[in-house]
Amino acid sequence: MRFQFSLIAIGLEVTMIILFGVFVEYETDQITGTQSLSTHVNGSLDLYPLFQDIHVMIFAGFGFVMTFLKKYGFSSVGINLLIAALGLQWGTLVQGYLYSNGEKTRVGIRNMINADFSAATVLISFGAVLGKTSPVQMLIMTIIEIAVFAGNEYAVGARLLASDVGASMTIHAFGAYFGLAVAGVLYRPTLRKRHPNEESVYHSDIFAMIGTLFLWIFWPSFNSALADPGVNQHRAMVNTYFSLAACVVSVFAFSSLLEPGNRLNMPLFTTKLRIHDTCGVHNLHGLPGVIGGLASILAIAVGETDRHSMDRQAAALFTSIATAIGGGLITGLILRIPVWGQPADQDCYDDAVYWKVPQRTEHDYHFQEYGGHSHQEIEI
């Protein structure tokens, strides 16, 4: 098993490169000689600033929002990077295949945004199993989840013709319930009790705030990038901007109301992350995604829009959740096979299992737990 991770990662990357060579071409390939771009491709370049905003969310936002655990910063950022880098390649291939009608996939900025979205779905699920799984398990989950995600997204968007611009159902609800199903299958009663590593320190919470803020700041781009250009895109930007602001004030108010002593809790996301399934993705993405789906049905019911049908929206919501749970359960069973290097209970939430961490800095993040040991070093 010694080289398992390396061999699987290399095997997957070689496969990706071969599949790209065979099935992918530039969307600019049909343009020759003139150097000028078709309208389609120009529109694609207009999306580039929105793409970069989303790219920050995927790599800096998701990566840092999970650094709140005191000993798991390297893994949060590092495995986030690994999942996203593999996921965006695989997402490009699978989504390209589904929408290509047998032709080659023609990639451009729009595909890059969709690829980042594929990765986002897995990163949401990653939150549910954070600290309790190995890098190999995450590679496997990435491959399976993105295949199922792309299938569901294709069914909802291209078959049911349902509307899901903010991706409430296909990304947020899907990613959350997929991850929760995996976490359910991998459930370990011993981790139910508070694990000594499963907590934050002051500085790790501030690192997590960097991620939180970048997710928050660029959310309008996430919600609008693939909306129809013009009025719809404009509306998605404006709505997200003001809704997020209203949410912040409300969350502060209710957080203070519910907290003993009326104190505030580190805002918004990071707090909730500390409930058991590691990251509370149910509250963060699952419920909001379902609410988004229900709201889309309600909007039709009250006549806000006549472009979509209630039946199809309901079917899309049901399909997304059912596919996510089904896919997650199967993935969980595969990950449970005891050959993937899943960390032992006492090694959970600890970078040192998979990473080389700086020496002699124990006190840096868990001084109290190992006070004597640290003291011993002082004597030397």
Q: Which of residues 286-315 bind a second copy (CB under 8 A)?
A: none
How far is Cα 238 from Cα 240, in angstroms, rounded to an integer?
6
Stretch in the footprint of a second copy (CB under 8 A) among 58-66, 96-104, 150-158, 293-301: 58-66
How far is residue 1's CA from residue 339's CA, in Å, rounded to a whole number?
A: 8
Residue 97 identity: Y
Q: 215 to 274, contacts with a second copy by CB under 8 A?
A: 216-218, 220-221, 228, 230-235, 237-238, 241-242, 244-250, 252-254, 256-257, 259, 262-267
Residue 41 or 321 with smaller CB distance to a second copy: 41
Q: Which is nearer to a second copy, 5 or 154 (CB)?
A: 5
Q: Does 325 bind a second copy (CB under 8 A)?
A: no
Of residues 168-197, those binding a second copy (CB under 8 A):
none
**Whole-angstrom Cα Rg for the chain:** 22
Residues 63-122 close enough to bind a second copy by CB under 8 A: 63-64, 67, 73-74, 77-78, 81-82, 84-86, 88-89, 92, 107-109, 112
Q: Which of 35, 101, 192, 339 binds a second copy (CB under 8 A)?
A: 35
> What distance in Å separates the CA atoms of residue 78 and residue 135, rounded to the nearest whole number?
10
Cβ proximity of 91 and 150 under 8 Å: yes
Nearer of residues 189 and 380 to a second copy, judged by Cβ:
380
Nearest to a second copy of 21, 189 (CB atom): 21
Segment near a second copy (CB under 8 A); pick from 19-27, 148-156, 172-180, 279-287:
19-27
In angstroms, what is the minimal distance from the CB of 320 to a second copy? Answer: 26
User: CA nearest 150: which of 108, 183, 178?
Assistant: 178
Q: In which residue are the tokens 């989950």 written?
A: 141
Q: How far is the CB of 315 from a second copy (least distance, A)?
A: 26
Which of 97, 126, 178, 207 is the binder for a second copy (CB under 8 A)?
207
Instruction: Provide the token pair at 172.
Output: 């947020």
| Largest Cα–Cα separation, the chain | 75
Q: How far is the CB of 140 from a second copy (least distance, A)?
A: 14
Smallest distance, a second copy to C-beta of residue 318, A: 30
Contacts of 322 (CB under 8 A, 6+ apart): none
Burial code (b: 16+ CB inside 10 Å, e: under 16) for 126-141 equals bbbbbbbbbbbbbbbb
Of 96, 127, 131, 135, the one binding a second copy (CB under 8 A) is 135
CB of 323 to a second copy, least distance (A): 26
Please report how close the Cβ of residue 310 comes to a second copy at its closest, in angstroms. 23
Q: Tell me the two tokens of residue 239.
A: 């709505």
Closest-CA residue to 105 (of 171, 26, 181): 26
If the CB atoms of residues 338 and 372 are measured against a second copy, the closer one turns out to be 372
Reading the block at residue 140, the tokens are 């496997």
CB of 349 to a second copy, least distance (A): 14
Q: Which of 87, 216, 99, 222 is nearest to 159 (CA)?
A: 99
Per-residue interface string for the shown chain with a second copy, residues 336-365, x marking contact by CB under 8 A: -----------------xxxxxxxxx-xxx
- Kindly state the smallest distance separating residue 173's Cβ from a second copy, in Å: 25
- Closer residue to a second copy (CB): 149 or 365: 365
The burial of 25, by beta-carbon neighbours within 10 Å (0-12 exposed, 13-18 middle, 19 or more buried), is given as middle
Those residues whose C-beta lies under 8 Å from the C-beta of residue 288, and which sit 6 or more positions away, are 168, 172
Beta strands in 4-58 (DSSP E): 24-26
CB nearer to a second copy: give 240 or 319: 240
- Contacts (Cβ under 8 Å, ≥6 apart) of 240: 166, 219, 220, 222, 223, 224
Residue type, 123: L
In the block, residue with structure tokens 């660029």? 218
How far apart are CB 151 and a second copy at their closest, in Å?
A: 22
